[in-house]
Amino acid sequence: MSDGQEKYRREVEASFRKWFDPKTARLKSADILKMPPEHWKCVAQGCNNMNMLRLDRLRQKDFSGFIQTFSSHDRFKPFLKIIPKLSPAQYWKLLGEVWTEIEVFQPDKQTWLRLFQSKRPNREFLMTSEEHEMLSKLPDIFEIWRGCGDVSGVYGLSWTLDKKRAEFFADYAIGFRRKMLTGLKNQANVQPLIVKAKCQKADVLALFKRRGESEIVLNPQNVRII
């Protein structure tokens, strides 16, 4: 390769970083029609490299690393595929990691519920020591909140101890990003909805403090709206 060709290659790769994230094999910009034609070869190479990385992490049984090669809202299906390869401890730890990074649960609510209600041993790995401690300090019956876009989302799995977080998620549920992720077309007449309820500590499937939240995961059949 001549000096001129090498210089051009470096310029293309440097420019390409504006468009493509090699860690996730995803385009950074949604307006791909503006991408220069010479960058498409880099896209193909980046995707091929990502596939090789994923295979390598599976061979090394680095299941958490494998899941992290997918964007947060695309991790559910890969997780389901590798469940047969996981030990009970790996299953519970990774379930918590995937759940706390995914934004949309409702379409797969029954599958999520089945995963959280698994009878596998080593369930303690689902939560951190801080989360276990926080759950242990809750009273036997306590108030919870849920924010959703409409009444169809009231009986979900994810609740919170923090009313302000419920208010945030109610607004977020009708926002552009949630609309994009769920594929909902028309939300013009949808109004944010805040739900207050009570539950028993014995029914809690998980408590998560990650991302600065105080999330309670429950089977909605065990929630009493007040």
**pLDDT tens by residue, 100-145:** 998 878 889 999 999 999 999 999 999 999 999 999 999 999 999 9
* Cα 55 to Cα 61: distance, rounded to the nearest angstrom: 10
Query: What is the SS3 assignment for 148?
Result: strand
Between 130 and 182, whose confidence is greater?
A: 130
Residues in CB range of 16: below 8 A, 6 or more apart: 39, 42
Whether the CB-CB separation of 149 and 190 falls below 8 Å is answered with yes
Q: Name residue, tokens 């596939």.
A: 51
Q: Does pLDDT of 98 surpass 90?
A: yes
* Cα 172 to Cα 166: distance, rounded to the nearest angstrom: 10
* Cα 33 to Cα 27: distance, rounded to the nearest angstrom: 12
β-strands 158-160, 193-200 pairing: unpaired
Between 8 and 53, whose confidence is greater?
A: 53
Both structure tokens of 30: 């949604």
The interaxial angle of helices 109-116 and 88-101, nearest 10 deg, is: 140
- The amino acid occupying position 30 is A
Which of the four pLDDT bands, split at 50, 70 and 90, describes residue 45?
low
Give the rounded percent of residues in the chain with a pLDDT score beyond 90.
Answer: 54
Q: What is the pLDDT of residue 152?
A: 80
Which range has the top average pLDDT, 45-49, 101-105, 110-114, 192-196? 110-114
Q: Does pLDDT of 218 surpass 70?
A: yes
* DSSP state at residue 117: T
Q: Does pLDDT of 42 surpass 90?
A: no
Give per-residue pLDDT as tens, 148-165: 888 888 999 999 999 999
